[in-house]
Amino acid sequence: MHGAGERIDTSTAHSARVYDYILGGKDHYLVDIEAGDAMCRHWPALPVHMLENRRFMHRAGRFLAEEQGVRQFLDVGTGLPTAPNLHEVVQSVAPESRVVYVDNDPIVLAHARALLQSSPEGATAYVDADMHDPDAILDSPQFRALVDLDEPVGLMVIGILHFILPPDDRSLVRRLLEPLPSGSFLALTIGTADFAPEEIGRVAEEYARQGMPMALRDLPTATSFFEGMELMEPGVTQVHKWRPGPEQDGIEDRAIAMYGAVARKK
C-alpha cells in the first residue's frame, strides 16, 4: 500500500471522494466538498440517489449469496470502504465467501486494508487496476488465487458504468464476463436521466466541468447490457425498486437516477 498517497491529486475533484462526502464519509478534500455541494444544489435528491445505489449493492450481494449460492465475487469499481462492504454482506450469509475488490483510485488503495478484514473462513483481496484494462484484473495474482473459474462468480459493477463512455462500455463488461463460467451473475447499476432529466443533466454538466464526463442511458440501452443473459426478477428497474425493503418506502422515482439489475450468465 506504500506510495498510494503520493498519487492522490487533491487539486481536482474525484468521483469516489465526492461520493464519500455526499454519503457523510471523511475521506475527501475541499475540492470534493465544493463539487459535491454544487451537484446537490443542482439536484437536492443526490444523497438519496447515492445511498440507494449503495443499498442495491447490499441487496444484490445478499440475494446472490443467500438465494443463488454464490460464494465468490469480483467487485469492479469498489470505491472507498463504506460499511457494510460487500464481503461483510455476503460473509454474514456464508462466512466462506471470497471477494476480489478492484479499483484504480489511489485514495481507495490507501484505505484498502478496510476491505481486507475477511472472516476467518473466507478471503478478500484488492487489485489496483482499471476497468478499462480488464486483462489486468483477470490476470492478476489476486484474482487467480481467490477465484475458481469452475464455480459461479458474482460480477458486481456498481456505480461506475456512467463513467465508462461508449463504445468501450459494452465491450468491457463483456470482457469481464467472458471467462466466468455458466451460472455466474452480473449485478450492474446504470445511470439514467429518464426520471429527472433537467436536474440530472445539470449534475452531469457539473461532473464534466470537474473533468468526469458521464454517459447516461435510457431504459432500452440499460437493458441491452444484459442481452443473452437471464434477468432475475424484477428485471431492469430503478435501484430502489429492485427487491426493495422497508427502507425504500416513500422514495420518489425522481430522486433516483440509476437503473439496476442482476442477470445470470447462460
Give the tens place of pLDDT for each residue, 32-55. 999 999 999 999 999 999 999 999
d(C-alpha 241, C-alpha 238), whole Å? 5
Assign 3-class secondary structure to 8-52.
Answer: CCCCCCCHHHHHHHHCCCCCCCHHHHHHHHHHHHHCCCHHHHHHH
Helix (H, G, I), strand (E, B) or coil at 55: helix
Three cell numbers at 69?
449460492
**Distant-in-sequence, close-in-space partners of 246: CB < 8 Å, separation ≥ 6:** none
Q: Which CATH number fits domain 4-8+45-195+216-265: 3.40.50.150, 3.40.50.620, 3.100.10.20, 3.40.50.720?
A: 3.40.50.150
Strands 72-76 and 154-157: parallel
d(C-alpha 259, C-alpha 117), whole Å? 30
pTM of the model: 0.92
Q: What is the pLDDT of residue 1?
A: 40
Q: Which helix (H) or strand (E) holds 205?
A: helix 197-209
Query: Is residue 100 a contact partner of residue 124, using CB atoms and an 8 Å limit?
Result: yes
Q: What is the pLDDT of residue 4?
A: 47
Give phi and psi for 27, each to the nearest 5: -100, 70
Place of cell 479499483: 103
d(C-alpha 225, C-alpha 260), whole Å? 11
Q: What is the pLDDT of residue 209?
A: 87
Q: Domain residue spans in the chain? A: 4-8+45-195+216-265
d(C-alpha 202, C-alpha 224), whole Å? 26
Q: What is the pLDDT of residue 15?
A: 82
Pseudo-torsion of CA 68, 70, 74, 77, nearest 10°?
A: 40
- Ranges of residues in the chain whose predicted pLDDT is under 70: 1-7
d(C-alpha 195, C-alpha 218), whole Å? 10
Q: How far is CA 186 from CA 23, 74, 106, 109, 132, in A?
A: 25, 10, 26, 24, 17
Helix (H, G, I), strand (E, B) or coil at 118: coil
Q: 84 preceded by cis ω (within 30°)?
A: yes
d(C-alpha 20, C-alpha 232), whole Å? 30
